[in-house]
Amino acid sequence: MNLVLTLGIVLSVLITFAPVAKVQAQKSIEDLEEAQNRKNVDICTQNLLTIGKALEAYQKAHGDLPDWLSELYPKYLPDANLLLCPADEMGGTPIFTSNADPKMPVSYGYQFHPRYRDLKSEQRQVYGDAMPLVRCRHHKNQPFDCLNLSFAFKVYPSSHVWEDTPEEMYGTPEEAIEALEVGLQKQPDSRHALDLYVPLARLYIEVGLEKDVNTLINRFKSIIKPDDLQAHSVLSAMLELANRDGEVLELFENLEQHHPNSRYVLNKLARIHERLGNSELAAEYRKKADPMSALVGKVVPNFSATDLDGKPISLQDYRGKVVLLDFWAVWCGPCVGEMPNVKKVYETHKDKGFDIIGISLDTDEERLRNYLKENDIPWQQIYSGKGWDSPLAKQYHIRGIPAPWLIARDGTLISREARGVKLERLVVEALRGKVEDK
């Protein structure tokens, strides 16, 4: 066999097995990541159990729980590293600054610090000691959102909104039903009792107690006030669980008479009509609920304002550039959490025709200026100090933040949700002159 033929055979074998080797290597990496994730969950669980013992000891010594987890160190918790979850990539820095422990980095969300104490004390009267006291949200690719340490110092996994899935907290649907029924009996007038009805109705259905759902709905109807939107939201959710869509429609048509401009009511009517097959009415109600939804693909109305440094600024000044109109605030955790990504995209594409206008809904100018300086935010900021009553927030019907509007070079709106990985993709496509919001 000549050398050329031999080399050809070897090359052919390598080409054949290269994809297989690549797949195997990828699988090995995934297996290692999965093993590390499981190990992190195990370590975190042990951390929480140890923190629970420290909290129990602190409570016995002081007659109450501490204001912050850092107060456990070093007397009740000798190792400060136990306050850090191994899966926490932020090293104990929370997204929501109001939850930051004042003394040291802490990965775990303490539910009984001074800002939450009164609220959680009220909830505890309804849910008992099974509700979360300490929470960890750092575990990715798991069948749960949070690991929780309860007021009874037990650890269990749950969804982000533990009130919606009480069976995770109490152990089984039957145990959850019993606990929620007790909570309603003990605290029928508590503002937190409202949160019990929908999960209780769902659990009744899951265990085959449909008659109890109807009894629960009728009892709830007898106690709600005609103009209480929150209570009607609860009632509609129970009616939907019971497949009583006609009653839901009637309920919200009546509410519309009292709250004709309520975005919640209008959105709800849009969803009901969509579900009932009334597509034209659904579209009409969506437009009423969100007047700016029809603006995507059209020219964004101009504004004229003064930036934080007193310089005049208008949207028209940026025509010819791809612009991110970023409605945000320092007090908004998701806004602050998104800022590193926004900065990265800005630094990458600022010399290619991309720019940003920040529209702050803060009311504390000093806090805003300090944040901009500390985080080296270079783009112009518009600040009125009026929060949600900001002229631009009103002009563009901003009802929630972050609200990142991406605008094309010709002034047309590309997206009102340009954030995360979607932001850079849309910016790159817009700079090329071809973009599709998906």
What confidence score (pLDDT) does residue 377 get? 95
Same domain, 237 and 329: no
**pTM (2 d.p.):** 0.68
Q: What is the pLDDT of residue 361?
A: 96
Collect the ranges in the chain with pLDDT lower than 70. 1-27, 434-438
Token digits of residue 171: 């152990």
Residue 412 near residue 298 (C-beta atoms within 8 A): yes
- Residue 240 CA to residue 68 CA, distance in Å, equals 41
Whether residue 218 sits in one domain with residue 243: yes
pLDDT digits (tens, 9 = 90+) for 369-426: 999 999 999 999 999 999 999 999 999 989 889 999 999 999 999 999 999 999 999 9
- 35-81 pLDDT tens trace: 999 999 999 999 999 999 999 999 999 999 999 999 999 999 999 99
Domain match, 408 and 314 both: yes
Domain co-membership, 284 together with 363: no
Is 165 inside a domain boundary?
no
Boundaries of domain holding 69: 27-160
Residues 132 and 184 occupy one common structural domain: no
* Alpha carbons 163 and 388: distance in angstroms, whole number: 29
**189 part of a folded domain:** yes
Residue 285's domain is classified under what CATH number?
A: 1.25.40.10
Q: Is residue 17 part of a domain?
A: no
Residue 144 and residue 201 in contact, taking contact as beta carbons nearer than 8 Å: no
| Together in a domain, 331 and 427 | yes
What local confidence, expressed as pLDDT, does residue 27 receive?
A: 66
Q: How far apart are CA 156 and CA 149, in angstroms?
A: 7
The one-letter amino acid at 399: R
CATH code: domain of residue 344 = 3.40.30.10
Whether 357 and 390 map to the same domain: the answer is yes
Identify the CA nearest to 426 among candidates 408, 412, 400, 411. Answer: 408
The single-letter code of the amino acid at 209 is L
Is residue 343 one of the residues assigned to a domain? Answer: yes
Same-domain status, 38 and 64: yes
Q: Quick check: is 16 in a domain?
A: no
**What is residue 157's predicted lDDT score, i.e. its pLDDT?**
97
Q: What does the pLDDT read at residue 295? A: 83
User: Quick one: pLDDT at residue 109?
Assistant: 95
Nearest partner of 332 among 123, 127, 135, 96, judged by Cα? 96
* Whether 142 and 88 share a structural domain: yes
What distance in Å separates the CA atoms of residue 242 and residue 5, rounded to the nearest whole number? 73
pLDDT of amino acid 293: 77
- Percent of the residues in the chain that have a pLDDT greater than 70, as a whole number: 92
Report if residue 15 sits inside a domain. Answer: no
Q: Is 168 inside a domain boundary?
A: no
Q: CB–CB of 111/135 below 8 Å? A: yes
227 shares its domain with 131:
no
Please indicate, yes or no, whether residues 249 and 371 belong to a single structural domain of this protein.
Answer: no
E strands, 335-402, in order: 354-360, 380-383
282 shares a domain with 225 = yes
Give the pLDDT confidence score for residue 3 in this predicted structure: 56
Q: Are 106 and 129 in contact (CB under 8 A)?
A: no
